[in-house]
Amino acid sequence: KGVPRAVQNILIVRLDHIGDLICSLPVLPVLKRRFPSAEITVLTGEEGKAILAGNPFVAHLVTFSPNWFSRKRFVNPIQFFRIIYGLRKTKYDLGFDLRGDLRNIVLMILAGVRYRIGYGIGGGGSLLQKRYEYDPTLHQVELNQKLVAEEVVPKSNLKPEIYVMREEKETALKKLRAHGVPEKTQLIAIHPEAGYPSKEWEAQNFRTLIEKILMDSQNTVLVFGLSKARQVADFFSGSGRVINLVGQFSLREMIAALSCCDLFIGNDSGPSHIAQALGIPMVILASGTNEYEKWGVWSKSSTVLKYSVPCSPCQLEYCNVEGHPCMSQISPDQVWQAACSLSALSRP
């Protein structure tokens, strides 16, 4: 049985994390071209509001952070049934589980999605009307595209995009000025955090890197993060050229501020994917925690520093090898040289 011809409502399920959602963004224009009269709803986590705000291809956004993906580990079951009830009202003709997860497939069934497409590698393939073969050699963005385009499109041809309104950017600039950022400067964003400690470069390395960046008086460093980044930012307390923005911005405000930056340097994390979707040159410090080649950024204006270690991919939250070799082998000087090659930073 083929895909319905008269498709009015499409549901995309992407409930995991920021990077996963950004790897899914290129499917939206493809779906809109295939089904121009259809309205697309994206079911995603709370952080998806900031990522998808202003996206012209998304008609409706439903947010839900389930226990199996939420790092908070608790979700009120009443919320789950409210979400299901709300989705059932729309009567979706077509639904895509981009992850290949049994729980997402069951959710689509409960939501009354008539025609379900996915991989089913986590079980539940028989519950799909159209099941594609999962190719573990492909990058996530290519796997996502395969489901909606019905063919493999090379990742080099796929570009995620986050939409920042002019007013948002102007507001972000005003807020940066209020924090002491001069008008004529080169802005370098530093994000020293990641989802797990195993993916983080040491704070001392970031501090050494910032000292190198500050050798050029034209540079101003913006340090973003939630809490751990204070170990980096507080070291430069009193410096007018290192702006401590840790915990100062919402995710959407951070996106707007990043859109003003000339360079992004950080660990493999959600903000690194955000920087790619904003088209910012990047230097990414990748650990051996996962197979970065299948999950990481793929922008032509990015440099990824990654060391091969025998324990990779470990999938561990905390490194269990003395010295954390996959990250400790990356030196501040290597990161600095990569940054200079990508941008207008001048070598000392």
In this structure, what CATH number is given to the domain that contains residue 220?
3.40.50.2000
Interval 33-58 mean pLDDT: 96
Domains in the chain, number: 2
Together in a domain, 144 and 281? no
Do 170 and 153 belong to one domain? no
Spatial neighbors of 4 by CB under 8 A, at least 6 apart, are 93, 94, 114, 115
Has residue 188 been placed in a domain?
A: yes
Statement to judge: residues 107 and 181 lie in one domain: no
Q: Last residue of some domain: 157, 181, 197?
A: 157
Would 1 be classed as within a structural domain? no
Report which of residues 105 and 237 the model is more confident about.
105
pLDDT surpassing 50 at residue 260: yes
- Matching residue, tokens 């539940």: 124
Find the angle CA(289)-CA(206)-CA(192) to the nearest 5 degrees. Answer: 50
In contact, 317 and 198? CB cutoff 8 Å? yes
Please indicate, yes or no, whether residues 192 and 128 belong to a single structural domain of this protein: no
Q: Determine the residue type at 285.
A: L
262 and 131 assigned to the same domain: no
| Angular region, 68: left φ>0, alpha ψ -120 to 50, beta rest | alpha
Q: For residues 96 and 10, is the Cβ–Cβ distance under 8 A?
A: yes
Co-location of 183 and 316 in the same domain: yes
Contacts 24+ apart (CB under 8 A), 55-64: 55/25, 55/28, 55/162, 55/163, 56/163, 57/28, 57/29, 57/31, 57/32, 58/28, 60/90, 62/86, 62/87, 64/15
What are the tens digits of pLDDT across the range 72-99?
556 677 888 899 999 999 999 999 999 9
What is the distance between the alpha carbons of residues 98 and 69, in angstroms, rounded to a whole number? 14
- Contact partners, residue 151, CB within 8 Å, separation at least 6: none
Confidence of residue 116 (pLDDT cuts 50, 70, 90): very high
By percentage, how much of the chain surpasses pLDDT 90? Answer: 81
3 inside domain:
no
Q: Is residue 201 part of a domain?
A: yes
40 lies in the same domain as 149? yes
With respect to residue 347, please indicate whether it lies within any of the assigned structural domains: no
The DSSP code for 250 is -
Which of 94, 124, 157 represents a domain boundary (last residue)?
157
pLDDT in tens, 146-200: 999 888 888 988 999 999 999 999 999 999 999 999 988 999 999 999 999 999 9
Contact 276, 141 (CB under 8 A): no
Q: In terms of residue numbers, what domain contains 139?
A: 9-157
Q: Is residue 4 part of a domain?
A: no
**Same domain assignment for residues 101 and 221:** no
Q: Mind listing the pLDDT tens digit for each residue in 201-212?
A: 999 999 999 999
Say how far apart CA 255 and CA 341 lie, in whole Å.
Answer: 24
- 347 pLDDT more than 50: no
- The answer to whether residue 348 sits within a structural domain is no
Q: What six digits make up the tokens of 75? A: 């979700």
Looking at residues 37-53, what average pLDDT do you find? 96
Is residue 41 domain-shared with residue 170, that is, in the same domain?
Answer: no
The band of 348, judged by pLDDT with boundaries at 50, 70 and 90, is very low
Out of 157, 188, 215, a domain closes at 157
